[in-house]
Structure 1
């Protein structure tokens, strides 16, 4: 079955679009206490700083001219990859957009020789944890946070 969307690498002109998609999803507001929740979740200035200081590649899931979701591969100093900012616009969640983004990021990580991908998410983000587990990711540690804990999950990548 051919999916009605495609995943492409973002360019420097996509910063505002990435920020808009990240900020369109309010699910984390339900698990992060209001005194710690930052709104907007991500600003253009923060994203530009991340691009300047991190090994960061963003991807967009597009359907025609519309962007349905975003996600990033972060190259870590230890050689692993890290998933970041996987967000899908609310009206297109549960349609395979997130899975398509993660699959593309995994292929990119394999091509770069990364042995595994890790990510962290809030311990209360049951929907995110369940999503990543369905894709083969497994928890490997928990770290304390101001309002609870972060879950770190990983997936080993086979060579290309």
Structure 2
């Protein structure tokens, strides 16, 4: 398994993976999310590849105050192989190189498996409310 930057030729494999991993929602167009990411810090959009197949993804971002982790996904038939851990570590390494002091991420309220995964990596629930407001509708 190797981790490398996303390439436009990975688009279909990545969207298929995100759908298989349950990350997509009707109100978020994954193709638009990819297009948007490629305009801002595309070097923080990573894929894990095994035997020329995309088996994992992670999308990072840094706004000068804190980093963010999005779209961490591992193919269901490749889970528990260390791919997710390796992707998180790769994003953390790149954010540290940018001087990022803290990394945040969001997990859906029903994401107990994801919460357990992140807790195992040393992440803790911050006692904050996460708010959102859609500026550009995708649907």
8 Å contact from structure 1 (residues 19, 42) kept in 2? no
Q: Does 1:6 align with 2:2?
A: yes
Structure 1 counterpart of 2:34: 47
Task: Give structure 1 regions of 4+ aligned residues with deviation exceeding 3 angstroms.
Answer: none
Give the structure with higher Rg (CA).
1
Q: Which residue of structure 1 lines up, in the alignment, with residue 86 of structure 2?
A: 100
1:61 is matched with which residue: 28, 34, 48? 48
Unaligned runs of 5+ in 2: 132-139
How far off its partner does 1:95 sit?
1.4
- Structure 1 segments unaligned to the other structure (5+ residues): 30-36, 146-160
1:1-160 superposed matches below 5 A: 5-26=1-22, 37-38=25-26, 42-52=29-39, 54-56=40-42, 57-78=44-65, 80-143=66-129
Structure scoring higher RCO (CA < 8 A, sep ≥ 6) equals: 2
State whether residues 70 and 86 of structure 1, in contact with CA within 8 Å, keep that contact through their aligned partners in structure 2. yes
1:49 CA drift (Å):
2.6
Alignment length (residue pairs) = 131
TM-score (norm 2): 0.81
Specify which structure has the higher proportion of strand: 1
- Conserved in 2, the CA contact under 8 Å of 1:74 and 1:82? yes
User: What is the alpha-carbon root mean square deviation over aligned residues?
Assistant: 2.3
Q: Give the C-alpha shift of residue 104 in structure 1.
A: 0.7
